[in-house]
């Protein structure tokens, strides 16, 4: 247990020291901008920041791929460090803050068609490779070890336990007899969210990216669940929406219940999207805010700052450990709610 605690303290300090290196001198001159410190780590970016040493920022430049009014542009994000490049630049403030923009004939900032490989995109690719490597590793183990030889141990046993929990308790229990056709999707979405959540807790490259705390990612996941729920729904499901078994005066002449049920089709995936996005982003923001206490108390004096640094790191370790549990819970809840919504769409019409 002590080893685990020491490891987490080292991980938290590895996340603190890059910020301290870049913010220490600034803290002696002016107040720390906590908002920029927190959201600078949470928001997406065109480069992957590694560490800052004084005024020197060490980052991994990423490919920029945009189509502007002058055509396609492909270059590395390091070309934008000096400002404008090929008529493109990163907006400072406004509606497109932090995004690549260009100026139209009237001088207004407009966004081009942007398919750049950003930090979150690269992190999602890396995390997907990690997930495939884990699953294929388990598959290779099962090929070499027949079931008759006993249950697996270690990492393979942990993955098998997670698969059985989700498969038997969530998918089979929530969907019913027709559960097999949805099992591949639900197992995939569970492990995809879980791996991205856990990788986001690692405070150094290739971890630390706020993938599942990005609403665009959670929107796509919720959209896929929405498609599975409604495209493959039974006639009984649509009958319950447009002609539910309620008193007639709730359906005609004013279709009160059908309207409510119809809006429920869209509020369910919306709740999925917001729940995952808000919980993961809040977790990242909470940890970074606790670490920001170190910088805020610099001017108070070395004694107070030292005490608050200890408290900040201690609470940071606690929050990071708690976020491991949250990473599993959010993956489980998203999968369970998706299975529940799909199960509700498999209503058999009574004859």
Do residues 188 and 17 lie in contact, with contact meaning Cβ atoms separated by under 8 Å? Answer: no
* pLDDT (tens digit per residue) in 229-242: 999 888 888 888 88
The β-bridge partners of 71 are 68
- Say what percent of the chain tops pLDDT 70: 88
Find the helix or strand (DSSP H, E) in which 152 lies.
none
Q: What is the C-alpha to C-alpha distance for residues 30 and 10, in angstroms, rounded to an integer?
A: 28
Quick: pLDDT tens for 323-341.
899 999 999 999 999 999 9
Q: At what angle do helices 215-231 and 302-344 cross, to 10 degrees?
A: 10
Q: Is 109 helix (H, G, I), strand (E, B) or coil?
A: strand
Q: What is the pTM of this model?
A: 0.84
* 225 φ/ψ angles, rounded to the nearest 5 degrees: -60, -40
Q: What is the pLDDT of residue 26?
A: 40
Write down the pLDDT at residue 205.
84
What pLDDT was estimated at residue 31? 58
- In contact, 273 and 215? CB cutoff 8 Å: yes
The count of other CB atoms within 10 Å of the CB of residue 120 is 22
- Tens digits of residue pLDDT in 263-309: 989 999 999 999 999 999 888 888 888 877 877 787 778 888 788 88
Q: What span, in angstroms and rounded, lies between the C-alpha atoms of 152 and 216?
A: 37
- The residues facing 66 across adjacent strands are 73, 114
Q: How many helices (H) and strands (E) does the chain have?
A: 10, 8
What is the model's pLDDT at position 306?
82
Q: Which of 78-82, 124-128, 298-302 tops mean pLDDT?
A: 124-128
Listed residue (123, 119, 101) closest to 61, CA to CA: 119
CA dist., res. 84 & res. 101, Å (int): 10
Among 41, 59, 66, smallest CA distance to 120 is for 41
Phi and psi angles of residue 65, each rounded to the nearest 5 degrees, phi first: -130, 105
H/E segment holding residue 97: none
Which of the residue ranges 48-62, 73-87, 152-166, 182-196 has the most confident prediction, judged by mean pLDDT? 182-196
Residue 138 has pLDDT above 60, yes or no: yes
């Amino acid at each position: 247990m002590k080893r685990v605690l020491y490891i987490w303290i080292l991980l938290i300090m590895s996340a603190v020291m890059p910020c301290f290196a870049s913010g220490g001198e600034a803290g002696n001159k002016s107040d720390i901008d906590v908002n920029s410190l927190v959201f600078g780590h949470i928001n997406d970016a065109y480069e992957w920041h590694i560490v800052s040493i004084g005024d020197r920022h060490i980052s991994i430049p990423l490919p920029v791929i945009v189509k502007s009014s002058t055509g396609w542009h492909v270059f590395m994000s390091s070309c934008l460090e000096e400002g404008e490049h090929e008529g493109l630049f990163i907006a400072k403030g406004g509606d497109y803050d932090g995004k690549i923009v260009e100026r139209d004939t009237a001088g207004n900032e407009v966004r081009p068609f942007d398919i750049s490989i950003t930090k979150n995109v690269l992190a999602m690719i890396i995390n997907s490779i990690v997930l495939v490597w884990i699953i294929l590793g388990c598959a290779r183990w099962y090929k070499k070890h027949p079931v008759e030889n006993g249950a697996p141990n270690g990492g393979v046993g942990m993955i098998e336990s997670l698969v059985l929990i989700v498969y038997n308790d969530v998918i089979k229990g929530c969907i019913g007899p027709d559960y097999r056709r949805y099992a591949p999707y639900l197992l995939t979405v569970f492990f995809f969210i879980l791996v991205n959540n856990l990788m986001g807790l690692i405070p150094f490259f290739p971890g630390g990216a706020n993938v599942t705390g990005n609403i665009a990612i959670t929107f796509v996941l919720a959209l896929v669940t929405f498609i599975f729920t409604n495209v493959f729904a039974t006639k009984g499901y649509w009958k319950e929406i447009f002609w539910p078994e309620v008193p007639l005066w709730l359906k005609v002449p004013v279709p009160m219940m059908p309207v409510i049920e119809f809006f429920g089709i869209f509020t369910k995936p919306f709740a999925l999207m917001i729940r995952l996005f808000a919980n993961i982003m809040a977790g990242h923001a909470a940890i970074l805010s606790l670490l920001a206490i170190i910088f805020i108390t610099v001017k108070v004096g070395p004694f107070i700052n030292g005490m608050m640094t200890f408290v900040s790191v201690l609470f940071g370790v606690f929050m990071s450990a708690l976020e491991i549990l949250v990473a599993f819970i959010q993956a489980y809840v998203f999968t369970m709610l998706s299975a529940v919504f799909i199960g509700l769409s498999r209503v058999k019409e009574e004859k």
